Amino acid sequence: MPKNAPPKWAQDFVLDALVFLGHEDVPALTWRRSRLHGSSGSTQLGVGRGRLIITAGRNRRDAKMIVLHELAHHVTQAWHTDAFWDTAWVLYRWAKLPIKRV
């Protein structure tokens, strides 16, 4: 697997979420690994050229939350606006992720 290549589960997760939302613009996905428990991410906005950059920790559920958070930025092309949070919450519910501190 090339450096920074995302795992298959993450690629499939992004595609499934986009299909659920009816959104066709697929962002590039850069994946980094961390030895920490938690994950982090960032988004480079741009229709047709967006990129999600995920630094995945050891907790898969946390990594999924970060992927969906960054995907909501990509889909709405916005930062922490009401539209962004509405989309993020829809995605969290779709993925059946518990919205609580673990």
Q: In terms of pTM, does the model score above 0.85?
A: yes
Residue 70 pLDDT exceeds 60: yes
Q: Is 92 exposed, middle or buried (0-12, 13-18, 19+ CB in 10 A)?
A: middle
Looking at residue 80, its pLDDT comes to: 95
3-state secondary structure of 73: helix
The predicted-structure confidence for 23-69, as pLDDT tens digits, reads as follows 999 999 999 999 888 899 999 998 778 999 999 999 999 999 999 99
Residue 101 pLDDT exceeds 60: no
Strands 40-44 and 28-33 turn out to be unpaired
